[in-house]
């Protein structure tokens, strides 16, 4: 896991003696099948918020997740919460705690965002003091080098102890705010294609089931799915019946139609459907591909990977990497070469926190 970007717009923050508000918000690290065939893990976790805004985007757009992840075992999840509550010893030297770590493993060798967490004022455990997060750093060894790897524009943050503890203690209570892993239901008639897609999704960490007709499935089961993907062989009547069943069950699942005939693109389409983050806080705000031009709209500074997948007349997939660099907020345009834009082509934009897919539409003959 590499630290990407530069200090500045991606490392916004302010040191102040005033209190900041502390909170948690659901977040996703998008998984997928990468151009080299490797699988990238899908992770759902709780991000920390400071004054109502997620903290992670302020840290150079690093690809990392908090230790409050949905797929952590109950005892491990609880241990992380206890540490943040300062009820357990700091795992690193100088009172440093891991706030974000590698999405693929928990090794410090991959790098982690750490900070000193300490009490300020009042006796231990008292609610009339403050909890301070300070000296943020990117750490790959047992000790942090603030001069080389610090985030000088981030923190320190002072949280009211009572409010801070209340947010974290809710996670330890039965029925707390811990995120539930999202599952995907694949509805289709071509078992071979669905099995390949289901296997790819499971490899990324997304629970997946296959059904031909979900209309008679138990309502409680339907509510566990975050997305429903329809294969090309499913007719309108069957799609409508399935949608009606999910609506009657009170499900908020997203529906994916028009699946692309390439596994990496299929996985990306489903990742896009699973993204429920607020639009104003997404790294990728939009993607268009038409007439040989790709336009990606960036909402927050982040590392962006653009990949084109082209299907030839024999339905073989040809992959071309177009871009892999950190982009600032705004609209960025890139040109597709004539060969890549020929035939049935899809463009996938990947950032640590999201994925977008767009078919590369071509101008009709005679059109301007």
Q: How confident is the model over 44-87, as pLDDT tens digits? A: 899 999 998 889 888 877 889 999 988 787 888 889 999 999 99
Q: How far apart are CA 36 and CA 132, in angstroms?
A: 43
Q: Which residues contact 199 (CB under 8 A, 6 or more apart)?
A: none
Cis peptide before 268 (omega within 30 of 0): no
What percent of the chain has pLDDT above 90?
A: 32
Return the SS3 of 244.
helix
Q: How confident is the model at residue 368 (pLDDT cuts 50, 70, 90)?
A: very low
Q: How far apart are CA 59 and CA 61, in angstroms?
A: 6
Predicted local distance difference test score (pLDDT) of residue 367: 32
Predicted local distance difference test score (pLDDT) of residue 174: 59
125: left (phi over 0), alpha (psi -120 to 50) or beta: left
Mean pLDDT, residues 286-300: 90
Q: How confident is the model over 297-341, as pLDDT tens digits? A: 998 888 899 999 988 887 788 899 999 998 999 999 998 887 777
Reply yes or no on whether the pLDDT at 365 is more than 50: no
Reply yes or no on whether the pLDDT at 9 is more than 60: no
- DSSP letters, 220-242, are HHHTTEEEEEE-TT--HHHHHHH
Q: What mean pLDDT is reported for the chain? A: 83
Taking alpha carbons only, the member of 206, 275, 199 closest to residue 41 is: 206
Q: Give φ, ψ of 317 to 5 degrees.
A: -95, 130
Q: How confident is the model at residue 180 (pLDDT cuts 50, 70, 90)?
A: low
Return the SS3 of 186.
strand
Tell me the domains of the chain and their CATH numbers: 22-173 (no CATH), 182-276 (3.40.50.2300), 281-367 (2.60.40)
Beta partners for 97?
A: 115
What percent of the chain has pLDDT above 70?
A: 88
Could you report how far apart the first and last alpha carbons of the chain are, in Å? 45
Q: How far apart are CA 259 and CA 309, in angstroms?
A: 14
Predicted local distance difference test score (pLDDT) of residue 2: 54
Q: How far apart are CA 335 and CA 295, in angstroms?
A: 9
3-state helix, strand, coil in the chain (%, to 5): 25, 35, 40
Q: How confident is the model at residue 356 (pLDDT cuts 50, 70, 90)?
A: very high
Q: How confident is the model at residue 361 (pLDDT cuts 50, 70, 90)?
A: low
The answer to whether 59 and 114 have CB atoms below 8 angstroms apart is no
Mean pLDDT, residues 32-36: 87
Predicted local distance difference test score (pLDDT) of residue 178: 62
Predicted local distance difference test score (pLDDT) of residue 12: 38
Return the SS3 of 259.
coil
Reply yes or no on whether the pLDDT at 342 is more than 80: no
Mean pLDDT, residues 255-273: 87
Reply yes or no on whether the pLDDT at 278 is more than 80: no
Q: Flag the least confident range among 77-81, 275-279, 346-350.
A: 275-279
Q: Which residues contact 343 (CB under 8 A, 6 or more apart)?
A: 310, 311, 312, 313
Reply yes or no on whether the pLDDT at 360 is more than 70: yes
Q: How confident is the model over 98-131, as pLDDT tens digits? A: 999 998 887 788 889 999 999 987 555 455 789 9
Q: Where are the alpha helices (DSSP H) in 64-211?
A: 74-84, 146-149, 161-172, 191-204
């Amino acid at each position: 896991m590499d630290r990407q970007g530069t200090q500045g717009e991606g490392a916004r923050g302010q040191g102040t003696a005033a209190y900041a508000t502390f909170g948690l918000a659901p977040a996703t690290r998008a998984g997928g099948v990468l151009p080299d065939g490797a699988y990238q893990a899908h992770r759902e976790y709780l991000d920390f918020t400071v004054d109502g805004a997620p903290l992670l985007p302020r840290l150079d757009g690093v690809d990392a997740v908090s230790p409050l992840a949905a797929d952590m075992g109950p005892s491990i999840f609880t241990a992380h919460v206890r540490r943040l509550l300062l009820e357990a010893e700091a795992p690193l030297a100088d009172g440093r705690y891991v706030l974000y770590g590698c999405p693929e493993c928990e090794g410090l060798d991959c790098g982690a965002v750490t900070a000193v967490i300490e009490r300020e004022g009042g006796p231990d455990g008292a609610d009339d003091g403050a909890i301070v997060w300070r000296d943020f750093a990117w750490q790959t060894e047992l000790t942090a080098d603030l001069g080389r790897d610090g985030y000088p524009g981030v923190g320190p943050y002072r949280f009211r102890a009572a409010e801070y503890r209340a947010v974290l203690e809710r996670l330890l209570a039965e029925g707390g705010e811990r995120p539930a892993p999202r599952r995907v239901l694949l509805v289709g008639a071509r078992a071979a294609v669905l099995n390949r897609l289901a296997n790819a999704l499971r490899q990324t960490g997304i629970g997946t089931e296959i059904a031909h007709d979900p209309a008679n499935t138990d309502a409680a089961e339907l509510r566990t799915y975050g997305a429903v993907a329809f294969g090309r062989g499913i007719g309108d009547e069957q799609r409508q019946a399935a949608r009606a069943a999910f609506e009657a069950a009170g499900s908020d699942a997203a529906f994916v139609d028009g699946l692309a005939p390439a596994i990496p693109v299929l996985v990306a389409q489903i990742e896009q459907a699973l993204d429920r983050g607020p639009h104003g806080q997404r790294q990728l705000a939009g993607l268009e591909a038409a007439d040989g031009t790709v336009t990606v709209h960036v909402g927050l500074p982040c590392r962006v990977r653009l990949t084109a997948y082209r299907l030839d007349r024999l339905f073989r997939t040809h992959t071309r990497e177009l871009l892999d660099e950190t982009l600032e907020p705004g609209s960025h345009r890139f040109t597709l070469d004539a060969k890549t834009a020929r035939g049935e082509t899809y463009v996938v934009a990947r950032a640590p926190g999201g994925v977008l897919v767009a078919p590369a539409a071509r101008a009709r003959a005679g059109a301007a």
